[in-house]
Amino acid sequence: MGDHWFIILSIICGLCVAAELERFEQPCKGECSLSFLVIGDWGRRGAFNQSQVAFQMGKIGEKLDIDFVVSSGDNFYDNGLNGPHDPAFEQSFTNIYTANSLQKQWFSVLGNHDYRGDAEAQLSPLLRKIDSRWRCLRSFIVDAELAEIIFVDTTPFVKSYFLDPEDHTYDWRGVHPRKHYVNNLLKDVERALRESSAKWKIVVGHHAIRSIGHHGDTPELATHLLPILKANDVDFYMNGHDHCLEHISDTESPIQFLTSGAGSKAWRGDVKRLNREGLKFFYDGQGFMSVKLTQSDAEIVFYDVYGKILHTWNAKKQFVDYSSI
Ligand SMILES: *[C@@H]1O[C@H](CO)[C@@H](O)[C@H](O)[C@H]1NC(C)=O
């Protein structure tokens, strides 16, 4: 009898642990400050200004003494990697982001284009043997003391990829059945945010919650993910997908929507006129974003292909100085 219970409990607990998002520790430096770059929609073997953007990332990365790089997905065009030995990995990643300052950990999610290839290849430990910077999982947490960054696999949220894939094939291994996958993921994200005591809470996904670019808002994320972010005091939602740089302030919460999807091919002039509520900045050329955090301050900066600053946003956290009470 006792043995049975032990086995049953072990199985249940095994499942609880399995459902938890994997967590990576990333200690902050000095008196606890943190900086990183965000780049999205990039892997084109250097073409479409990918190499120029990489060069400027190297310079800004050095200036800010970055701790890591965040990739918001669509890592390899057009159809992800065809396997863990696809030469596109080195051609579009290792051989492009060569600057000293970029020799840090890269934390990456998958985009919809990555799901059109062998999605599991990008998660494979074999890639880390080729280039140890690479760290790509479907969903995970980077615990950077000052900030907790929750990476969310957003492609399975988008119904049209399942119902109307056009002439694309998606690698849904490990995702089917979709509803189950998405519901579990939402629970994991909710729990991670609820349990987080980090000063700054950041969520990263490939698809935008809000965007005025080509794809626009992602209704599935606005309906299912956004309420969780709002209820748990998330500061920033960062994404790619639309090939632009963009900043929208939520009108109902302190959340800032930040799109950095301009790592290579940009969509000049592809702008939607709809729903411009809270729009602070939009740029339809190539570039990237930097994030700098301290206990009390956040600074978000967008750069173009020449490294020129296009837009800056500063946020403050209320800071209680107990020594003066
Ligand atoms: C590269 O960037 C420059 C400056 O924004 C732009 O004029 C040019 O069209 C871009 N090239 C490509 C191939 O996108």
Positions annotated as catalytic residues are 215
Could you tell me the CATH number of the domain that includes residue 229? 3.60.21.10
Residue 12 lies in a domain: no
Q: What does the pLDDT look like over 148-195, one tens digit per residue?
A: 999 999 999 999 999 999 999 999 999 999 999 999 999 999 999 999
Mutate to test the pocket of ligand 1, among 41, 44, 49 (most ligand atoms within 8 A of CB): 49
Residue 1 lies in a domain: no
Quote the CA–CA distance of 182 and 188 in Å, as a whole number. 10
Q: What's residue 274's pLDDT?
A: 75
Residue 173 lies in a domain: yes
**Structural domain span for residue 213:** 24-324
Considering its fold, how many domains does the chain have in total?
1
For residues 77 and 44, the answer to whether their CB atoms sit within 8 Å is: yes
Quote the CA–CA distance of 241 and 225 in Å, as a whole number. 17
Residue bearing the CA closest to ligand 1, atom 10: 49
Torsional sign, CA 148, 283, 250, 182: negative
Residue 267 lies in a domain: yes
The 8-class DSSP code of residue 287 comes to E
For residues 303 and 309, the answer to whether their CB atoms sit within 8 Å is: yes
Residue 15 lies in a domain: no
Residue 8 lies in a domain: no
For residues 110 and 153, the answer to whether their CB atoms sit within 8 Å is: yes
If you measure from the C-alpha of residue 264 to the centroid of ligand 1, how many angstroms do you get, rounded to a whole number?
A: 9
Q: Taking 70 as the threshold, does the pLDDT of residue 145 lie above it?
A: yes
pLDDT band at 19 (very low <50, low <70, confident <90, very high): low
Residue 127 lies in a domain: yes
If you measure from the C-alpha of residue 307 to the centroid of ligand 1, how many angstroms do you get, rounded to a whole number?
A: 13
Copy the structure tokens of residue 272. 């939607």
Residue bearing the CA closest to ligand 1, atom 8: 49
Q: How far is CA 59 from CA 66, 97, 306, in A?
A: 11, 11, 10
Q: What does the pLDDT look like over 194-221, one tens digit per residue?
A: 999 999 999 999 999 999 999 999 999 9
> Rounded mean pLDDT of the chain?
93
Q: What's residue 185's pLDDT?
A: 98
Return the closest-CA partner of residue 285 out of 223, 243, 232, 230: 243
Quote the CA–CA distance of 137 and 152 in Å, as a whole number. 9
Q: What's residue 17's pLDDT?
A: 45
Overall average pLDDT of the 235-255 stretch: 97
> Does pTM top 0.95 for this prediction?
no
Q: Taking 90 as the threshold, does the pLDDT of residue 1 lie above it?
A: no
